[in-house]
Amino acid sequence: MTNKRVAFILGGSGGIGKAVVEKLIEQDYAVAVHYAGNKTKADTLVETLVASGGKAISVGGDVADENQMISAFDVIEAHFGGVDVVINTAGIMKLSLITSLDMEDFDLIQRTNVRGTFVVSKHAALRVRKGGAIINFSTSVTRTNFPAYGAYVASKAAVESLTLILARELRGKDITVNTVAPGPTATPLFLSGKDDKTIESLANAVPLERLGQPSDIAETVAFLAGPARWVNGQIIFTNGGLA
C-alpha cells in the first residue's frame, strides 16, 4: 500500500512509455511498468527506479487480452492499494501502402492499437479512483495523412473516437479521459525502417526543426495526469507545430 498517487503505464519499459515512467517518478508517483514481451527490460527499469528511492513494480500482459489486463489491475491494486492514472502508450506500427499491406499485419495493428486500447480503457474506467486520469495515445498523422500510414492511422483515429466518447460516459466520476497525439518523435518505433533522408525531412517539417524527444511527450502526459483537471475529452497534439 502507498499514499502516493499511483500510475499504470502500458508499454512503460521503452520509448515514450519509459520517459513517462521516469517523469512521473520525478513527480513522486508510484508506478506500475507494463511489458508485453520483454520482462527483463521492465524489471531492469524497475530495479533502477527502486534503487533511486522510487516505488515501482513491473506488470506483464497482452493489452488486447481482457483477462490478462484484469489480472494486471488486480496486481497493482494488491500492491499499491489502487490506481489513479492509466497511460496507454502500448502500440505497434507497420508502414505500407494500402494496396500492398498484408491483411495479417492489418489485423495485428488493429488488435493491439484498437482492441488493446478498448480493453485497457474499459478496465481503467472501472478501476481508476476519483480524481484520476486515463490517457490514450494517437498520432499527429491522423491530421497530416502521410502515405503508407493507412492502417496505423485507421487504428489511431479509432482511439481518438473511443477516448472522446469515454470522457462523456464517465460524467460525474471526476475522471478525465484524453488522448496525446505526438508528432515525429525519436523512438525505436518511429525510427524503425526509415533512412536518414526520411528522418531529416520529417524533422524539417516541424517549425521547431527537430524531432520530438520522448521527454517532450512525457511533459504533456504528466500535465494531463496531474494538474490538468479542466482538460477532458481532448486530443492534445504534441508535435512542435507540425501542420
Secondary structure letter of residue 216 according to DSSP: H
Specify the higher pLDDT residue, 2 or 72: 72
What percent of the chain has pLDDT above 90? 85
C-alpha cell at 190: 518511429
Q: What is the pTM of this model?
A: 0.94
> Could you tell me the residue ranges of all domains in the chain?
6-237
Residue 202's pLDDT is: 82
- Which residues in 182-221 are b (16+ Cβ under 10 Å) and which e? bbbbebeebeeeeeeeeeeebbebbeeeebbebebbbebb
Question: How confident is the model over 153-178, as pLDDT tens digits?
Answer: 999 999 999 999 999 999 999 999 99
What integer is the mean pLDDT of 202-207? Answer: 86
Distance, in Å, from the CA atom of 12 to the CA atom of 54, rounded to the nearest integer, reads 15
pLDDT of 72 higher than 90? yes
Quote the mean pLDDT of the chain.
95
Residue 204's pLDDT is: 85
Residue 2's pLDDT is: 85
Cα-based distances in Å from 60 to 75, 126, 159: 10, 19, 22
What is the three-class DSSP state of 195? Answer: coil
Question: How confident is the model over 12-61, as pLDDT tens digits?
Answer: 998 999 999 999 999 999 999 999 989 999 999 999 999 999 999 999 99
Distance, in Å, from the CA atom of 83 to the CA atom of 130, rounded to the nearest integer, reads 10
Catalytic residue ranges:
152
Q: Which CATH superfamily, name and number, covers 6-237?
A: NAD(P)-binding Rossmann-like Domain (3.40.50.720)
The amino acid occupying position 152 is Y
Question: How confident is the model over 176-193, as pLDDT tens digits?
Answer: 999 999 998 988 777 777
Closest Cα partner for 115 from 155, 71, 67? 155
Residue 55's pLDDT is: 98
Question: How confident is the model over 120-145, as pLDDT tens digits?
Answer: 999 999 999 999 999 999 999 999 99
